[in-house]
Structure 1
């Protein structure tokens, strides 16, 4: 599944490149105001922090929410206390777009993450051109050389990479490229199985000074508390927010 998702995302980027050449996207990226300091926004604190996700659908659950106005949802997330907004921009299986990202960026003052299957530098420039402050890089999807070069490009453009892992080896690979924001996804993107205890088994491998993000398998405040007890500085939440009253749910999650 991960291979299919990455191939589809890169193919869609190639189609966009045919319409909007690299030189144009790179110029737009460089013309943007500087990215917001996501590491400062997500730095460890006395309370857990939340990255709240704009997510219409997923391969594992299908349609989750229509979200006709992603900007309005993002505003409610910011009002509810989220520290950053994640916007799924993959169109085939998650029903997102770069337009969603641009709308969200224009509506909120906190960092915005482009969550997609990134495998080409063009996609990184697209992210900055659309106003992203963070870009997701999935270790399992990339060889080490590509992971390093994309991570370096993200930094050169003033953004922060959320480097996603799912095993001890992948955590090691993330640290080897100098990642300062490391996520552990409870969902195996090859099988889509969930393991909520995975974060706890890997957290100690992520040194102090690197922000630890727990991803997936969050439905209740108890799930957030579980991750917090295991050492999460930040928890990324999507489905639980788009299928409920987001402000009330965020209030409950941030109270753990």
Structure 2
């Protein structure tokens, strides 16, 4: 199996175990379940930078990135930097994350939070709402169009925004549902984990204007953001570039300042 297949196989087992540990009825009783959603898509439309700053400790492609990082320090730093949103990896086995990271962040910041997860079940969407996330990720490479439509409609019923991730033309064309808020082009091939920023440029013209365009992965320089803006991208998800430093928050502050100044 490739890396993506391994992640999904593990996720199926993980979700079933979580269902046994925490009932849906308990998830809907948390302090966050009735809170009003913060809009990541609107933030991106109104922003000069469009930066979605990501918190992650490790990845299959890079192994350990920043295993000792403090969630509270990083997300507060991202908020201070003026990030439009904060993406938090919640997969534990492959990325070193968990839902507690989202809960902690939600108690600290007033920035929209994206739960970055390999969603294969509605239960995970309820978990996202329960933990204080504002937005979920749906990955076209692991879901059928009917699943994407079903999950995105369900997310909207919980007042969650939806970022659909694609990395090829077929995935995009099959999944342009009105229940999607943002289309994210992943420049990283999830099967090989190789990165090609040109993927975003290639697919940009195929994304209808009603969707907010987000470019994901492989963005480490301000000039790349500027180039992608010429292809009508409004959002730029950056994780490793910030997390590989000793102070991700300060690094984000400097990067976002340069983007906003047009450097």
> TM range, normalised to the smaller chain?
over 0.9
Q: How many residues are aligned here?
A: 255
Going from structure 1 to structure 2, the CA distance change for 1:98 and 1:194 (only over 3 Å counts) comes to: same
Q: Does 1:236 align with 2:242?
A: no
Q: State the distance in 2 between where 1:160 and 1:102 align.
A: 18
The alignment's TM-score, normalised by the length of structure 2, stands at 0.91
Q: State the distance in 1 between where 2:31 and 2:162 align.
A: 16
Once structures 1 and 2 are overlaid, which stretch shifts more, 11-20 or 136-145? 11-20
Partner residue in 1 for 2:194: 193
Deviations 1:158-192 (A, max 9, x none): 01011000111111123135422100000010111
Deviation for aligned residue 1:67? 4.4
Partner residue in 2 for 1:97: 98
Q: State the distance in 2 between where 1:5 and 1:199 align.
A: 24
2:253 to 244, 247, 253: 247
Deviations 1:19-63 (A, max 9, x none): 112222234388431221222222255x33100000111100010
Q: State the distance in 2 between where 1:249 and 1:10 align.
A: 37
Q: State the distance in 2 between where 1:43 and 1:178 align.
A: 18
Q: State the distance in 2 between where 1:131 and 1:218 align.
A: 27
Q: Does 1:9 align with 2:11?
A: yes
Partner residue in 2 for 1:136: 137
Q: Describe the SS at the equivalent of 1:118.
A: coil
Partner residue in 1 for 2:37: 35
Deviations 1:110-169 (A, max 9, x none): 100000100001100000000000000001110111111111111000010110001111
Residue segments in structure 1 that go unaligned for 5+ positions in a row: none
Q: State the distance in 1 between where 2:178 and 2:210 align.
A: 15
Residue 220 of structure 1 contacts residue 253 of structure 1 at CA under 8 Å; is this kept in 2?
no
Residue segments in structure 2 that go unaligned for 5+ positions in a row: 246-250
Going from structure 1 to structure 2, the CA distance change for 1:161 and 1:67 (only over 3 Å counts) comes to: farther
The alignment's TM-score, normalised by the length of structure 1, stands at 0.93
Q: State the distance in 2 between where 1:67 and 1:134 align.
A: 26
Q: State the distance in 2 between where 1:6 and 1:226 align.
A: 33
Partner residue in 1 for 2:28: 26
Q: State the distance in 2 between where 1:38 and 1:246 align.
A: 18
Q: Describe the SS at the equivalent of 2:151.
A: helix
Partner residue in 1 for 2:248: none
Q: State the distance in 2 between where 1:67 and 1:248 align.
A: 22
Residue 25 of structure 1 contacts residue 126 of structure 1 at CA under 8 Å; is this kept in 2?
yes
Partner residue in 1 for 2:110: 109
Q: Does 1:70 align with 2:71?
A: yes
Going from structure 1 to structure 2, the CA distance change for 1:136 and 1:29 (only over 3 Å counts) comes to: farther
Deviations 1:86-105 (A, max 9, x none): 00000011000000011111
Q: State the distance in 2 between where 1:22 and 1:203 align.
A: 38
Residue 44 of structure 1 contacts residue 233 of structure 1 at CA under 8 Å; is this kept in 2?
no
